[in-house]
Amino acid sequence: LRMFEEPAAALRWVRGEDRPEASMSYEFLNGRVEVRTGDITGLKVDAVVNAANSSLLGGGGVDGAIHRRGGQEILRACQELRETCYPRGLPAGEAVLTTAGNLPARYVIHTVGPVWGRDQQPDTLLASCYKKSIALAANHALGSVAFPAISTGAYGYPKDEAAAIASTAISEALSQADAIERVSLVFFSDADLDVFLANQQF
Protein backbone atom coordinates (compact mmCIF):
# COMPACT_ATOMS: atom_id res chain seq x y z
CA LEU A 1 0.00 0.00 0.00
CA ARG A 2 1.36 3.39 -0.93
CA MET A 3 0.78 6.32 1.45
CA PHE A 4 0.66 9.95 0.36
CA GLU A 5 1.08 13.02 2.55
CA GLU A 6 -1.25 15.16 0.45
CA PRO A 7 -4.21 14.14 -1.70
CA ALA A 8 -2.83 15.99 -4.73
CA ALA A 9 0.23 13.72 -4.73
CA ALA A 10 -2.01 10.65 -4.72
CA LEU A 11 -3.97 12.05 -7.63
CA ARG A 12 -0.82 12.75 -9.63
CA TRP A 13 0.30 9.17 -8.96
CA VAL A 14 -3.04 7.75 -10.06
CA ARG A 15 -2.84 9.81 -13.24
CA GLY A 16 0.67 8.45 -13.85
CA GLU A 17 2.29 11.87 -13.88
CA ASP A 18 5.11 11.15 -11.44
CA ARG A 19 5.40 7.41 -11.59
CA PRO A 20 8.76 6.35 -12.99
CA GLU A 21 6.98 3.88 -15.29
CA ALA A 22 4.60 6.54 -16.60
CA SER A 23 4.66 6.02 -20.34
CA MET A 24 6.47 8.38 -22.68
CA SER A 25 5.42 8.64 -26.26
CA TYR A 26 7.44 9.57 -29.33
CA GLU A 27 6.26 10.63 -32.76
CA PHE A 28 7.61 10.00 -36.26
CA LEU A 29 6.44 10.77 -39.84
CA ASN A 30 4.80 14.07 -38.84
CA GLY A 31 2.80 12.41 -36.09
CA ARG A 32 1.41 9.58 -38.21
CA VAL A 33 3.42 7.14 -36.10
CA GLU A 34 3.38 7.09 -32.30
CA VAL A 35 5.77 4.88 -30.31
CA ARG A 36 5.00 4.13 -26.66
CA THR A 37 4.78 1.56 -23.90
CA GLY A 38 1.56 0.02 -22.63
CA ASP A 39 -0.94 -2.82 -22.79
CA ILE A 40 -2.30 -3.00 -26.32
CA THR A 41 -5.54 -4.67 -25.19
CA GLY A 42 -6.71 -1.44 -23.54
CA LEU A 43 -6.40 0.84 -26.58
CA LYS A 44 -9.44 2.46 -28.15
CA VAL A 45 -8.25 2.38 -31.75
CA ASP A 46 -9.92 1.20 -34.93
CA ALA A 47 -7.75 -1.93 -35.09
CA VAL A 48 -5.41 -3.70 -32.69
CA VAL A 49 -2.96 -6.05 -34.36
CA ASN A 50 -2.50 -9.48 -32.80
CA ALA A 51 0.81 -11.38 -32.97
CA ALA A 52 -1.01 -14.64 -33.66
CA ASN A 53 0.13 -18.11 -34.71
CA SER A 54 -0.99 -20.00 -37.82
CA SER A 55 -3.76 -21.82 -35.95
CA LEU A 56 -5.52 -18.48 -35.22
CA LEU A 57 -6.91 -20.22 -32.15
CA GLY A 58 -4.97 -18.33 -29.48
CA GLY A 59 -1.79 -18.83 -27.51
CA GLY A 60 0.37 -16.95 -25.00
CA GLY A 61 1.85 -13.45 -24.99
CA VAL A 62 -0.14 -10.68 -26.62
CA ASP A 63 -2.33 -13.27 -28.40
CA GLY A 64 -3.40 -14.75 -25.06
CA ALA A 65 -4.08 -11.28 -23.64
CA ILE A 66 -6.23 -10.25 -26.64
CA HIS A 67 -8.34 -13.43 -26.55
CA ARG A 68 -8.73 -13.29 -22.75
CA ARG A 69 -9.92 -9.71 -22.71
CA GLY A 70 -11.75 -9.80 -26.06
CA GLY A 71 -13.71 -12.95 -25.20
CA GLN A 72 -15.32 -15.80 -27.15
CA GLU A 73 -16.50 -13.66 -30.03
CA ILE A 74 -12.94 -13.29 -31.35
CA LEU A 75 -12.27 -17.02 -31.06
CA ARG A 76 -15.49 -17.86 -32.90
CA ALA A 77 -14.59 -15.48 -35.73
CA CYS A 78 -11.11 -17.05 -35.95
CA GLN A 79 -12.57 -20.58 -36.03
CA GLU A 80 -14.85 -19.55 -38.87
CA LEU A 81 -11.94 -18.09 -40.82
CA ARG A 82 -10.01 -21.32 -40.32
CA GLU A 83 -12.89 -23.42 -41.60
CA THR A 84 -13.83 -21.23 -44.57
CA CYS A 85 -10.52 -19.75 -45.77
CA TYR A 86 -7.51 -21.28 -44.03
CA PRO A 87 -8.08 -24.96 -43.21
CA ARG A 88 -4.32 -25.46 -42.99
CA GLY A 89 -3.73 -22.29 -40.99
CA LEU A 90 -2.84 -18.68 -41.80
CA PRO A 91 0.63 -18.57 -43.37
CA ALA A 92 3.37 -16.39 -41.84
CA GLY A 93 3.36 -12.87 -43.28
CA GLU A 94 -0.41 -12.81 -43.87
CA ALA A 95 -3.09 -10.80 -42.03
CA VAL A 96 -6.85 -11.22 -41.46
CA LEU A 97 -9.49 -9.08 -39.75
CA THR A 98 -12.07 -10.06 -37.13
CA THR A 99 -14.36 -8.44 -34.60
CA ALA A 100 -12.65 -7.15 -31.44
CA GLY A 101 -15.29 -8.70 -29.15
CA ASN A 102 -15.18 -6.99 -25.77
CA LEU A 103 -12.00 -5.00 -26.45
CA PRO A 104 -12.28 -1.21 -26.66
CA ALA A 105 -10.90 -1.44 -30.22
CA ARG A 106 -13.30 -1.95 -33.15
CA TYR A 107 -11.43 -4.76 -34.90
CA VAL A 108 -8.52 -7.14 -34.40
CA ILE A 109 -6.10 -7.78 -37.24
CA HIS A 110 -4.40 -11.14 -36.73
CA THR A 111 -1.01 -11.53 -38.36
CA VAL A 112 1.48 -14.37 -38.07
CA GLY A 113 5.11 -13.38 -37.66
CA PRO A 114 8.08 -15.55 -38.64
CA VAL A 115 9.63 -17.93 -36.12
CA TRP A 116 13.28 -16.93 -35.76
CA GLY A 117 15.58 -19.81 -36.76
CA ARG A 118 12.78 -21.78 -38.42
CA ASP A 119 11.19 -19.73 -41.22
CA GLN A 120 13.12 -18.81 -44.37
CA GLN A 121 13.52 -15.10 -45.18
CA PRO A 122 12.22 -13.93 -41.82
CA ASP A 123 12.90 -10.28 -42.70
CA THR A 124 10.58 -10.40 -45.72
CA LEU A 125 7.90 -12.17 -43.68
CA LEU A 126 8.12 -9.71 -40.80
CA ALA A 127 7.90 -6.73 -43.18
CA SER A 128 4.91 -8.40 -44.83
CA CYS A 129 3.09 -8.62 -41.46
CA TYR A 130 3.27 -4.84 -41.06
CA LYS A 131 2.53 -4.02 -44.70
CA LYS A 132 -0.43 -6.39 -45.07
CA SER A 133 -1.91 -5.33 -41.73
CA ILE A 134 -1.79 -1.67 -42.77
CA ALA A 135 -3.18 -2.43 -46.24
CA LEU A 136 -6.01 -4.45 -44.67
CA ALA A 137 -6.85 -1.59 -42.30
CA ALA A 138 -6.82 0.88 -45.20
CA ASN A 139 -9.11 -1.37 -47.26
CA HIS A 140 -11.62 -1.28 -44.40
CA ALA A 141 -11.30 2.52 -44.11
CA LEU A 142 -9.82 2.26 -40.60
CA GLY A 143 -7.95 5.35 -39.45
CA SER A 144 -5.97 4.13 -36.45
CA VAL A 145 -4.01 0.91 -35.96
CA ALA A 146 -1.93 -0.27 -32.98
CA PHE A 147 0.83 -2.89 -33.32
CA PRO A 148 2.68 -4.95 -30.74
CA ALA A 149 6.31 -5.89 -31.50
CA ILE A 150 5.49 -8.85 -33.74
CA SER A 151 7.72 -11.95 -33.45
CA THR A 152 9.97 -10.42 -30.76
CA GLY A 153 8.56 -12.50 -27.89
CA ALA A 154 7.97 -16.25 -28.12
CA TYR A 155 9.07 -16.26 -31.77
CA GLY A 156 12.53 -14.98 -30.84
CA TYR A 157 13.19 -12.32 -33.51
CA PRO A 158 16.12 -10.07 -32.42
CA LYS A 159 14.53 -6.84 -31.24
CA ASP A 160 17.08 -4.53 -32.87
CA GLU A 161 16.64 -6.09 -36.31
CA ALA A 162 12.87 -6.20 -35.88
CA ALA A 163 12.86 -2.44 -35.14
CA ALA A 164 14.62 -1.60 -38.41
CA ILE A 165 12.33 -3.88 -40.42
CA ALA A 166 9.10 -2.73 -38.78
CA SER A 167 9.85 0.98 -39.16
CA THR A 168 10.88 0.62 -42.81
CA ALA A 169 7.82 -1.50 -43.66
CA ILE A 170 5.45 0.90 -41.88
CA SER A 171 6.89 3.92 -43.73
CA GLU A 172 6.47 2.14 -47.04
CA ALA A 173 2.93 0.97 -46.29
CA LEU A 174 1.79 4.39 -45.04
CA SER A 175 3.01 6.06 -48.23
CA GLN A 176 0.31 3.98 -50.00
CA ALA A 177 -2.42 4.21 -47.37
CA ASP A 178 -3.56 7.82 -47.11
CA ALA A 179 -6.65 6.91 -45.06
CA ILE A 180 -4.53 5.78 -42.12
CA GLU A 181 -4.02 8.69 -39.77
CA ARG A 182 -2.29 7.05 -36.85
CA VAL A 183 -0.14 3.96 -36.32
CA SER A 184 0.78 3.22 -32.70
CA LEU A 185 3.68 0.92 -31.85
CA VAL A 186 3.10 -0.38 -28.36
CA PHE A 187 5.96 -1.91 -26.38
CA PHE A 188 5.48 -3.89 -23.23
CA SER A 189 8.53 -2.50 -21.43
CA ASP A 190 10.70 0.62 -21.37
CA ALA A 191 13.69 -1.55 -22.31
CA ASP A 192 11.93 -2.77 -25.47
CA LEU A 193 10.91 0.79 -26.33
CA ASP A 194 14.54 1.92 -25.95
CA VAL A 195 15.82 -0.82 -28.28
CA PHE A 196 13.23 0.24 -30.84
CA LEU A 197 14.15 3.93 -30.62
CA ALA A 198 17.84 3.12 -31.05
CA ASN A 199 17.27 0.98 -34.15
CA GLN A 200 14.28 2.48 -35.96
CA GLN A 201 14.72 3.81 -39.51
CA PHE A 202 11.88 6.32 -39.72
Specify the amino acid at residue 201: Q
Instruction: Pick from 33, 47, 136, 149 the residue near ligand AR6 by CB under 6 A.
Output: 149
Q: Which of 33, 35, 49, 51 lies at the binding interface for ligand AR6 (CB under 6 A)?
A: 51
Q: How far apart are CA 76 and CA 82, in angstroms?
A: 10
- Choose, by CB under 6 A, the member of 17, 27, 39, 80 that binds ligand AR6: 39
Residue 146 has phi, psi (to 5 degrees) of -120, 130
Residue closer to ligand AR6 by CB (options 47, 149) is 149
59 binds ligand AR6 (CB under 6 A): yes
Q: Which of 18, 39, 46, 63 is catalytic?
A: 63
- From candidates 61, 71, 89, 158, binder to ligand AR6 by CB under 6 A: 61
Q: Does 108 bind ligand AR6 (CB under 6 A)?
A: no
With contacts defined by CB under 6 A, name the span among 22-30, 33-41, 85-93, 97-105 that binds ligand AR6. 33-41
Shortest CB 192 distance to ligand AR6, Å: 5
Largest Cα–Cα separation, the chain:
60
Q: Smallest gap, in angstroms, from Cβ of residue 149 to ligand AR6? A: 4
Q: Please confirm, yes or no, whether 63 is among the known catalytic residues.
A: yes
By CB under 6 A, is residue 151 in contact with ligand AR6? Answer: yes
What is the distance between the alpha carbons of residues 33 and 135, in angstroms, rounded to a whole number? 15
Which of 147, 153, 92 lies closest to 122, judged by CA?
92
**What DSSP element (H or E) covers 128?**
helix 122-139
**Of 164-193, which residues contact ligand AR6 (CB under 6 A)?**
186, 188, 192
Total binding residues toward ligand AR6, as defined by CB under 6 A: 24
As measured in angstroms, the least distance from the Cβ of 112 to ligand AR6 is 8
Q: Within a 10 A sphere around the Cβ of 15, how many other Cβ atoms?
A: 10
Residue 198, strand partner residues: none
Rounded to whole angstroms, what are the CA distances from 7 to 17, 147, 162?
Answer: 14, 36, 43
The DSSP symbol for 30 reads G
Q: Does residue 93 belong to the site contacting ligand AR6 (CB under 6 A)? A: no
3-state secondary structure of 135: helix
Phi, psi of 95 (to 5 degrees): -140, 140
Q: Could you give the residue numbers annotated as active site?
A: 63
Q: Interface residues with ligand AR6 (CB under 6 A)?
A: 39-41, 51-53, 59-63, 65, 113, 148-155, 186, 188, 192
